[in-house]
Amino acid sequence: MIRTLLLLAALVAPTTALADTVIVNGLVHSVSQPPRRANILIQGERIVEISPGIQPSAGDQVIDATDMVITPGLVDFDTQVGMVEIWAVDATNDTDPGDDPIRSGFRAADALNANSTVVPITRNGGITSVVSHPSGGIFSGQSVWWDLVDGDPTGPAILTPAVQVLNAGNSGSSAAGGSRGTLMMRLRELFSDVQIYEADSGQYRLRERGSLSASVVDLEALVPVLNGEVPVFARAHRQADIIGLLNLADEYGFRLIIGGSTEAWAVAERLADEGVPVVLNPFDNAPSEFEQIGARADAAAVLAEAGVSIILTSNETHNVRTLRQLAGNAVRAGLDHEVALAAITLNPAAAVGLDSDYGTLEAGKIANIVVWSGDPFELSTQPRHILVHGQEVSMDSRQSALFERYRTLEDGVNRLPSHLLEPPSHDQEEGEQSVATGTEPEREQPSPGDNP
């Protein structure tokens, strides 16, 4: 299987020339260099130059970033954005492809809804790219990296497969039959079948279906994994599970990214030596399962100090926008500020081989850029301008639309049903008053001639 980077044709097609964009007077945190004051020239979807001496030309779109901070667009590596709208409504949830424990042929890109109402909300947190994962089973399937462009739902730049998702620990062992030993046995059987299939796929297709550890589609999807082309994103918390995955990767030669990672700090030196990136949520700092007994608040700082490439994630779908705040909490717990910024920009891109286009502000790179009102790790800071592929995107969302609709009482009342706006009758007023005072309403006395 060939990994493909699919770009929206409209972004690269020779249509009407667009004006250049110049961001001026901002403090540029490029990730690749120390922060400095500079201007940024953008042509099309890419950065052309970063320099204090750039002067806008007539007709350029100018973004004044005076007293503001400029960073690369943020990346959340562990989400399900675009794959689920409402968790409680099954018809909107495309994350779990079924009961089969081996689902490596499943493509998250095929289930993606770029028109999801979650997308603008996510983007308004300064997130310009996400990696969306399938879930369940032992191998959940192929994740997709996509850029949160504005407009056409076919528009995101897509890398698929970005990774193959493997569930270890409690989740994976349950899918394998209940034991971690069973899980490792199933994985060795599966990888051995992939090797046999790759050596002679024609003969393998002729074998009895019952003799296969997985379908041909699933085996084909794992060939790039054992060839080192597609990394395995393996979820594991317990130290022993992480060591088991490292041993398995050494045995079969695949690239490994560890997710979950609560106890990864305990094997930090080996992770650094073997160049294995670690994805973690800084708020997973207290045990919630027995496999997380070794949780600690400064895990990200310990890993980074050992030389591990860390990637910070929200592990969210509807609250991915909190990513920068989570990074700020990692800084509070001892992580260097610039290392934290790299952990949500450059490191995710490097983990899937996209760092030549993403992750830093440099000439030639994709212009995914956020202009912030201040330090992005401060809670009160807000994005002022968000550019995806060089185009400033709208900051409107379903949430902002609802806020505007109901921001004043008068607007809210005007939208009430008409019968609720009619003045109450005399009888209604009398009844309401009696309820308020706790007395019975005065009843009309019958005349002597009335029937009892």
DSSP string, 248-308: HHHHHT--EEEEE-TTGGGGHHHHHHTT--EEE-TT--S-SSGGGTT--TTHHHHHHHTT-
In sequence order, the β-bridge partners of residue 127 are 74
Retrieve residue 217's tokens. Answer: 């589609």
When pLDDT is cut at 50, 70 and 90, the band that residue 7 belongs to is very low
Retrieve residue 213's tokens. Answer: 């550890």
Retrieve residue 250's tokens. Answer: 């050494």
When pLDDT is cut at 50, 70 and 90, the band that residue 13 belongs to is very low
Distance CA 248, CA 250 (A): 5
**Element housing 160 (H / E):** strand 158-160
20-34, 101-115, 158-172, 433-447 — which one is most confidently predicted on average?
20-34
pLDDT of the residue at 411: 53
Who's near 340: CB < 8 A, 6+ residues apart?
A: 300, 312, 327, 328, 330, 331, 377
When pLDDT is cut at 50, 70 and 90, the band that residue 1 belongs to is very low
Q: 357 pLDDT exceeds 90? A: yes
When pLDDT is cut at 50, 70 and 90, the band that residue 79 belongs to is very high
Distances (CA, A) of 361 to 48, 144, 205: 10, 23, 48
Distance CA 238, CA 309 (A): 19
Q: What per-residue string of b and e applies to 309-334 under the rule 16 or more CB within 10 Å gives b?
A: bbbbbbbbbbbbbbbbbbbbbbbebe
For the stretch 302-356, pLDDT in tens is 999 999 999 999 999 999 999 999 999 999 999 999 999 999 999 999 999 999 9
How large is the C-alpha radius of gyration of the chain?
28
Q: 70 pLDDT exceeds 50? A: yes
Q: 250 pLDDT exceeds 70? A: yes
What domains can you pick out in the chain, each with its CATH number?
74-350 (3.20.20.140)
4-18, 193-207, 337-351 — which one is most confidently predicted on average?
337-351
**Element housing 225 (H / E):** helix 216-226
Nearest to 239 by CA among 270, 265, 272: 265
Distance CA 358, CA 306 (A): 25
For the stretch 387-421, pLDDT in tens is 999 999 999 888 888 888 888 766 555 555 555 44
Which 3 state secondary structure label does DSSP give 47?
A: strand
CB atoms within 10 A of CB 377: 21
Average pLDDT rounded to a whole number, residues 37-56: 96
- Preceding amide of 417 cis, omega within 30: no
For the stretch 415-432, pLDDT in tens is 555 554 455 555 555 554
User: Is the Cβ–Cβ distance between 156 and 8 less than 8 Å?
Assistant: yes
pLDDT of the residue at 156: 61
Hey, what long-range contacts does 193-201 have (CB within 8 A, 24 or more apart)?
193/219, 194/219, 194/222, 194/223, 194/225, 194/226, 195/226, 197/223, 198/223, 198/226
Average pLDDT rounded to a whole number, residues 31-52: 97
Q: Tell me how far apart the 2 most distant CA atoms of the chain are, in Å.
A: 107
Distance CA 279, CA 313 (A): 7
For the stretch 257-282, pLDDT in tens is 999 999 999 999 999 999 999 999 99
pLDDT averaged over every residue in the chain: 87
Residue 27, CB half-sphere, CA atoms under 13 Å: how many? 10
